Structure 1
Amino acid sequence: MTKPLNNLDQRLSARLKQERILRGWSLSNLAEKSGVSRAMINKVERGQSSPTAALLGRLSGAFGLNLSTLLARAENIDNVGLIREVDQTRWVDPETGYIRTQVISRTDAKFPLDIAKIELPAGKSIAYKAASFMHHCQIIWVFSGRLTFIELDQTHLLQPGDVLQLGAAQDRIFSNDGAQICTYSVTGIRS
């Protein structure tokens, strides 16, 4: 039995289809560019399947967007002024239980900033392709728990208070090998 989509998943489904149509791409074009099967894209666009973080990363990368921008466009937001915690968009990855809270997402050229708070459950990992981070400088700041960050042949073990500034876009894995939830922020500036 298929689990009903929540409101954000419905908006994401519609936004993914809109991004594809805006580019004049068929499902096959997007499948080729993203490495996601045509059938899966079709299921997500029709709201028959909730997209995972990894899948959204691949699709947003194919569009030349990062995940934060895609989520902001789905929400139709460009945060300005006070943003209360209750008004921040929360999205849960159906595969891992990872929770992404979009703290701020500015899409204008004068202040192209994204800040997301991530809660990664113990024993879970999220892998992203390099295309998810193109034209985007990122900084990871760990608040609690332990984060293992892997990029190419480099592994960084991050503890609370540790900050890692990332370089050029590479395939990346965020992994929580600890026994408790790892909470961290990802701050991105679009170039």
Structure 2
Amino acid sequence: MDRSTDINAHLAERLRGLRAERGLTLDGLADRTGVSRSMISLIERGESSPTAAVLDKLAGGLGVTLASLFAETPRENASPLARRAEQRVWRDPATGYVRRNLSSPGYPSPIELVEVSLPAGARVAYDTGPRTVGVKQQVWLIDGAIDLTVGPDTRRLESGDCLSMHIDQLIVFHNPADRPAHYLVALATDPAVGLQRERTSP
């Protein structure tokens, strides 16, 4: 089994498991995310290579981070150490951007670390709106430059810059340069935020 097939098989199993845990049907998840029932079914059967934008919508509807889709179900006996050779790597078929999950798979933690390489000229947009769980994110640019849009504001990040944000609105990563940009993403979840939104929603 090649790496892309292995990743698709993992995503299929992870999505099926998360959907079952939440008692959602395919139609229910489709209604929550705007992703068609047929597309979700193909992904859950490992017959489609979803884009980052589609996976982010599914993650938002399931109340998890995008990074957690590539991780494993938390377990008590998981090792806290993630060797580089064991870290799961995924390439977005739409843009070619590559993400590496740095955090130990299956180790219970409210923090997730992701390493990203964004190709020259690439643009990745996430527009899931408010989530069922609160997610805070920081982006630290290691090398290169990116234009990072959060809601109505766009900022140019250069090497060494770090930007903090809440994941509850449109976020766009764009590499305006002629070489790849390399950055680290740190995510922290706060389930209480999602619960508060549910209680105050009409």
Q: Same fold (TM over 0.5)?
A: yes
Offset at residue 47 of structure 1 (A): 1.5
Distance 1:167 1:102 in 2: 20
- 1:6 match: secondary structure: helix
Question: Any conservation in 2 of the 1:8–1:74 contact (CA below 8 Å)?
Answer: no
Which secondary structure does the structure 1 equivalent of 2:71 belong to?
helix
Counterparts of residues 1-40 of structure 1 (less than 5 Å): 5-40=4-39
- Determine the C-alpha separation between the residues in 2 that align with 1:16 and 1:102: 17
Over residues 17-49 of structure 1, what are the superposed CA-to-partner deviations in whole Å (9 max), with x where a residue is unaligned?
222222222211111001101111111111111
Kindly indicate whether residue 65 of structure 2 is the aligned counterpart of residue 66 of structure 1.
Answer: yes
State the AA in 1 paired with 2:44: E
| TM-aligned CA deviation for residue 168 of structure 1 | 5.8
Give the superposition deviation at 1:169. Answer: 2.3
> SS state of the match for residue 123, structure 1?
coil
Q: Show the 5 A alignment for 1:100-119.
A: 100-104=99-103, 108=108, 111-119=109-117
Q: Residues 52 and 75 of structure 1: is their aligned pair in 2 closer, same or farther, counting only changes over 3 Å?
A: farther
Contact 1:62-1:131 within 8 A present in 2 as well: no
Q: In structure 1, what is the equivalent of residue 125 of structure 2?
A: 127
Counterpart of 1:161 in structure 2 is: 160
Once the 2 structures are TM-superposed, how far is the Cα of residue 11 of structure 1 from its aligned partner?
1.0
User: For residues 113 and 63 of structure 1, what CA distance do their matches in structure 2 show?
Assistant: 18
Report if the CA contact (8 A) 1:58-1:131 is conserved: no
- The amino acid across from 1:50 in the alignment is S
Taking the aligned partners of 2:74 and 2:161, their CA distance within structure 1 comes to 31
Residue 149 of structure 2 corresponds to which residue in structure 1? 150
* Distance of aligned partners of 1:143 and 1:51 in 2 relative to their CA distance in 1, 3 Å threshold: same
Q: Provide the residue aligned with 1:141 in structure 2.
A: 140
SS at match of 1:137: strand
What amino acid does structure 2 have at the position aligned with 1:147?
I
Question: What is residue 195 of structure 2 aligned with on the other side?
Answer: none
> 1:143 & 1:49 partners in 2: Cα distance?
32
Per-residue deviation, 1:81: 3.6
Paired with 1:162 and 1:96, the residues of 2 have a C-alpha distance of 23
Q: Taking structure 1 as the reference length, what is the TM-score of the superposition?
A: 0.88
Structure 2 unpaired stretches of 5+? 191-202
In the alignment, residue 30 of structure 1 is paired with which amino acid? Answer: L
Gaps of at least 5 residues in structure 1 are: none
Deviations 1:102-142 (A, max 9, x none): 0115763xx41100000111111111123469412111000
Q: Give TM-score scaled by structure 2 length.
A: 0.83
Give the AA of the match of 1:137: K
In structure 2, the partner of 1:47 is 46
Give the SS at the match of 1:104: coil
Aligned length: 187
Which letter does structure 1 place at the counterpart of 2:135? H
